[in-house]
Structure 1
Amino acid sequence: MSHVEPLEDIFAPFALRISCGPLRMRFVRDVDVPEIAAAIHEHGIYSPDQPMPFMRRWAEAGHDLAVNTLQYYYDAFASWSPESWILLLHVSMDGRFVGIQHLEAIQDFRQTRAAETGSWLLRHEQGQGIGTLMRQAVLAFAFDELGAQVLESGGMVGNQASLAVSRKLGYVPNGYRRYVHADGVGWRDVEMYRLAPGDLVRAPYSVEVTGAAAFRASIGLPDAR
């Protein structure tokens, strides 16, 4: 039998590991989907009396949630290229799953050195500083390991928790974007923020990364930063 390469050697993002104190992040795999869907069903992501934080109510999809989630992650795997990529990170805190953090290239990252972050956190894990720590970890990774020069984030107008994290971490306001709802009816405004490398308010823990060189190669960056 010929040598079988580990999946991490075939697709470099699977080998990426980011840690920051008690927090661990790694690329999402399809086998994570049952756990993710079950956690959303059990705990939810947002309260019905809070402003809707997304453009569509994907977390309320019932039985279709797992299928939709699986298709979304497979699409991210299949469309990966140096010109267009989205790093979807499974986040755990002290060993328990808490949410998803993502980092997405803005156009061709090799030229723009710009990316956008987004995340969601299980409802019962909110308000404990976890969302702040996971954002600090991925921002440090983007600046220190990928050479990012601009990182953006946005939150729905009214989503004060998300916007407060951006302000706390050193972002500056960068206008508004208007988006049509996923069902094509109505619109919402998103408040945008922009962060430069020297303005990041870093975590109280060091950020440790393994697999960074292979990840850089997967997005067309030279190993020497």
Structure 2
Amino acid sequence: MRRHDNKLLSRVTQTAVVLALVSASSVADVFQFNSKRDWETWTFPPGVLVTNNDGSITLSRVDKAINAVSNSTDFLHKVKRTRDLIPGGIRGFSNESAVENLVDGRDDTYWQPSQNDVLDDWWIEIDLGRMVYATKITLTFPDTTDAVPFRNFSVYINDGERSTAAKDIFQFTRVGRTTSPNESRVVEYALRTLDPGPATGEHLQALDTLSFAAVQYVRFVPEEIHD
């Protein structure tokens, strides 16, 4: 019996993001500067502001689905252990030199674990560098004749919140799992958030399921070596 290589690509799709500035004065939705010097004390990420023809400045709008994995290394966040700022990215414990292929945005590259490593070392973790509201996670396996998709696996997420405030310990929630041996080249898991909400009323129609989830970390954990 011959062992086939398991190979994997991954992607996280983010929902639209709308930002708003709320004034500290009595005029809603407006923030005013009294001098050029005050304005220059503020810094904004590139692309956040739009200068309009009338001289007004507004926030730009992101209203399309994007791959939140593709720019994960552009974002920095602090780790408790060293208090250093680190970028997002990906880590793995098997065939570490190839794990970057999972997030390079190319269709012709992939990651496969080393057949010499034990199954417990085959898991990988993607750090988006910041928390995003994601609608789905897409796993894409390469379409090659000499490889088969992972057969059994689970997918977990965490929103960046620590289980212990002083340590980098995170609790993950499983959002997807194979219920039978997988043979698909593309596997998608829609993300949901249960939100009962505080509102009450006789004729109130409340939706308690949101069509996204807060995500910063994604783990892919194989559960079987395919022979």
User: Is TM-score (shorter-chain normalized) higher than 0.5?
Assistant: no
- The structure where strand makes up a greater share of residues is 2
- The structure where helix makes up a greater share of residues is 1
TM-score (norm 2): 0.29
